[in-house]
Amino acid sequence: MLTMDYEKTGYLHSPFKLFHLTDHKLKSYDCHYHDFYKILLFLSGDVDYFIEGTSYRLEPRDIVLIGAGDVHRPVIRSSAPYERIILYVSSDLLTSYNGQDYSLESCFQKQTEKKEHLPVLRSSSASVDTLFKLCAGLESSLSGSEYAEELYSRALLLQFLVQLNRIFLTGSFRYIETGSSNRKITEILHYINEHLDGDLSIETLSGEFFISRRYLMQLFQQETGYSIGKYVNAKRLFSARDKILHGMSLTDACYSSGFQHYSTFTRSYYRMFQTTPGALKKDIQT
């Protein structure tokens, strides 16, 4: 059981970043979240991946899609080398390349439309090799110093993201639909994410799921590693930011994400993102 509070880790001061990492020893990771998208290409290891209340057993060539604000951590089961490629991609970059009939966020957004949170993609087709080759080319480019290397690296990243979405949308991948989880917590998490604009007090949730207030708080903390209040607040902030990035007004984004007072929203937003909603709106309009 997890009992730690979650926290934001990792910072992205550029549109994207790539890591190729290998752990050769057992290592423990705490629950955490990022304010950007994370794509993990799993290469090897004895690893379960805990995401939003569910633990998934990974196999080589699995691709893990972690949205901004999704609480997660790897659980290392043995000393077998844990090798993976990790891509951090900012929300701003993805939305800046959205077109009228396509979105680079599709592979992240589609999964949230399902009843259950299914963030792990698996494929036995040769198409997955293309993604790994593109990632290898991107890794090489990022360490190079040739003419217009930065521009070339971004072009490779966009090619990777387009290919990922194409493969996803044509059904070459399948979601892993089985994972170890507490069904009651899974239902509560789904309810929260579907009702961010409603009353999500502990009293309301305990009544909705017919469990005592005290037991609900204890169960949520034990199974997810964080409190209900912190989880709800973070999800509402990420929802509001996403709506602003997609053109919604500041006040509409605030209230439709479940905040009752605009001043509370702006203070919480600044604490989370170290900037204001107004600054974000100004940036995307320039």
Q: Are residues 89 and 198 in the same domain?
A: no
From CA 65, how far away is CA 175, in angstroms rounded? 11
Residue 78 and residue 11 in contact, taking contact as beta carbons nearer than 8 Å: no
Q: Are residues 210 and 227 in the same domain?
A: yes
Asked if residue 2 belongs to a domain, the reply is no
CA distances in angstroms from 26 to 19, 23, 45, 101, 248, listed in the order given: 19, 8, 11, 45, 45
Domain boundary among 152, 175, 198: 175
Query: pLDDT-derived band of residue 168, with 50, 70 and 90 as boundaries?
Result: confident
* Residue 114 confidence (pLDDT): 46
Q: Are residues 152 and 15 in the same domain?
A: yes
Q: Which of 9-18, 38-47, 149-158, 181-190 has the lowest mean pLDDT?
A: 9-18
Q: 27: helix, coil or strand? A: coil
Q: Are residues 170 and 189 in the same domain?
A: no
Q: Are residues 89 and 152 in the same domain?
A: yes
From CA 171, how far away is CA 80, in angstroms rounded? 32
Name the pTM for this structure. Answer: 0.82
Q: Which of 50-64, 172-186, 235-249, 269-283 has the lowest mean pLDDT?
A: 172-186
Q: Are residues 102 and 158 in the same domain?
A: yes
* Residue 89 confidence (pLDDT): 95
Question: How many structural domains comprise the chain?
Answer: 2
Q: Are residues 123 and 154 in the same domain?
A: yes
DSSP 3-state percent helix, strand, coil across the chain (nearest 5): 45, 20, 35
- CATH assignment at residue 232: 1.10.10.60
pLDDT higher at 56 or 6? 56
Q: What amino acid is encoded at 37 in this protein?
A: Y
DSSP 28: B
CA distances in angstroms from 115 to 129, 167, 186, listed in the order given: 30, 22, 10
Give the domain range for residue 275.
Answer: 182-285
Task: State the virtual CA torsion across 196, 74, 122, 179 in degrees, nearest 10.
Answer: -60
Domain boundary among 175, 208, 224: 175
Q: Are residues 129 and 52 in the same domain?
A: yes
Half-sphere exposure of 102 (CA within 13 A, CB side): 11
Residue 41 and residue 30 in contact, taking contact as beta carbons nearer than 8 Å: no
Asked if residue 236 belongs to a domain, the reply is yes
Quick one: CA dihedral 17, 121, 4, 206, positive or negative? positive
Model confidence at 250: pLDDT above 80 = yes
**CB burial class (10 A; 0-12, 13-18, 19+) of residue 211?**
middle
Model confidence at 181: pLDDT above 90 = no
- CATH assignment at residue 119: 2.60.120.280
Q: Are residues 225 and 92 in the same domain?
A: no
Asked if residue 61 belongs to a domain, the reply is yes
Q: Are residues 159 and 198 in the same domain?
A: no
Domain boundary among 175, 202, 230: 175
Asked if residue 1 belongs to a domain, the reply is no
Name every residue whose Cβ is closer than 8 Å to that of residue 65 and which is 6 or more positions away in sequence: 37, 38, 39, 107, 108, 111, 119, 120, 121
Asked if residue 89 belongs to a domain, the reply is yes
From CA 89, how far away is CA 92, in angstroms rounded? 9
Q: β-strand 54-57 against 47-51: which pairing, if any?
A: antiparallel
Asked if residue 273 belongs to a domain, the reply is yes
Q: Are residues 138 and 270 in the same domain?
A: no
Q: 172: helix, coil or strand? A: coil
Q: What amino acid is encoded at 278 in this protein?
A: G
Asked if residue 123 belongs to a domain, the reply is yes
Q: Are residues 208 and 92 in the same domain?
A: no
Asked if residue 106 belongs to a domain, the reply is yes
Model confidence at 60: pLDDT above 70 = yes
